[in-house]
Amino acid sequence: MWRSRKRSKKNNEAEQKTKKLKVTQGLLYGLHNQGSTCYLNSVLQVLSVTTEIHDRLDPRSETDQGLKNIFEKLKKETCKTGNITKSLGIENVHQQRDAAECLELILNKISRQACVVFQGQLAYTTKCSSGHSINEETNPFWTLPLSLKDTHDETFSVESGFEKFFQSKLFNGDNMVHCNDCNEKTEAESECEMVVFPQILTLLLKRFEFDYNTMKHVKANCSVDVPRALQRQKKEYDLYGMVNHMGSLKGGHYTATILSNEDNTWYGFDDTCVNKVEKQPFAETGTYTSSDAYLLVYRESLRDEDEQRDTLNLKEKESAEHKQVVPSFTEDLIQDVFALQQTQNTSDSTVVEMEKDENSHKLCKSSTCKLHPVWISLIIIGCVAVVIALPLIFA
């Protein structure tokens, strides 16, 4: 009897533990923490909804296949990450690591055809005040770092920081640079532009900076206003994933906030615990304020493609309508020509009728005038010529 109660108690505890690991909706599942691998779990959860890379993963690559296995298992159950840590070369699972570095580690490990989705290119150009080129280079990037160090307001605007990243920088005073063409130090201006737009744009909010006054690393805990959409030139991006960092540098913890592809709802991922976010981001405004946001992951908006498709459809519709209008225009032109002839020739109707009868008799005798396209074309040309010539004759 005692053994039966003990067995029953264990079964109940196991069932309760299993229930805690699952989402109430049964759609999304979490990842087991091996010790201090919350940084890995949060990044993997974002990648699991980044469907742009799923079909690009190469089964011949160990890391690619490891990711593919996790993505498939996450559709059915809470899963472990032991195999993926081995393929990534993570030996000490109890060591605190950075989520941004983990993302770059994964992107450097997976196949080229998969990681290219995240890769963009920045062009840097530096010119002196006389217009001479001092430096020109193009570099690839995985993430765009936005500094929170110079934030004067209590809340950092991600949108403003994103625009500031591309603002030109002046070198003057003690910061003048040497120009080979001028053969001296001179004032200069440096510009940065995105020349290759990634399909997935990742922004890194630099919360961890080195303080040269204290000679220590510090964390910026300021709140940030995260925009739902970002635009650069004609390219627009929509936010779908956030990696968050809570706590201090030594005792911090990573989570993820992700927009589900299934029901268009934001969920919070905390290792094995997955819950619907109570206060949905962007439900009331176009920005979301957070003091924990660390990585912001945007995907290329489909609105641009939709607009291009609509424009193409409109052009095709206008072209079809134009084709329908042309025949009726030709018929109207012929009718107008004959009407004009009859109006302008009322003074000499007898002569015109005789000429018309004679011409009709000649045409009817010909066997080649049975609505042949060549004859129709000649008739139209002749009518147009008559319209032009008659005003000159009766002037």
- Express each pLDDT in 145-196 by its tens digit: 999 976 656 799 999 999 999 999 999 999 999 999 999 999 999 999 999 9
Q: How large is the average pLDDT for residues 16-42?
A: 75
Give the β-pairing of 184-186 and 200-206. Answer: unpaired
pLDDT 10s digits, 302-349: 765 555 555 455 545 555 554 444 344 334 433 443 444 444 444 444
The residue-averaged pLDDT of 207-213 equals: 85
Report whether 137 contacts 124 (CB < 8 A).
yes
User: How high is the pLDDT of residue 27?
Assistant: 72
Tell me the percentage of the chain whose pLDDT exceeds 70: 70
Residue-averaged pLDDT of the chain: 81
Give CA–CA dist 222/152, Å, rounded: 10
What confidence tens digit (pLDDT) does each residue in 80-118 have? 999 999 999 999 999 999 999 999 999 999 999 999 999
Name which residue leads in pLDDT, 6 or 103. 103
What domains can you pick out in the chain, each with its CATH number? 19-301 (3.90.70.10), 326-393 (no CATH)
- In this prediction, residue 324 carries a pLDDT of 47
Question: In this predicted model, what pLDDT tens digit does every residue of 134-158 receive, in sequence order?
Answer: 999 999 999 999 999 766 567 999 9
Cα–Cα dist 177/133, whole Å: 12
pLDDT in tens, 289-306: 999 999 999 999 976 555
pLDDT tier at 12, thresholds 50, 70, 90 = low
Of 367 and 226, which is predicted with more confidence? Answer: 226
Percent of the chain with pLDDT over 90: 61
pTM: 0.72
Highest mean pLDDT among 128-132, 197-201, 346-350: 197-201
Q: pLDDT tens, 236-294?
A: 999 999 999 999 887 799 999 999 988 999 999 999 999 999 999 999 999 999 999 99
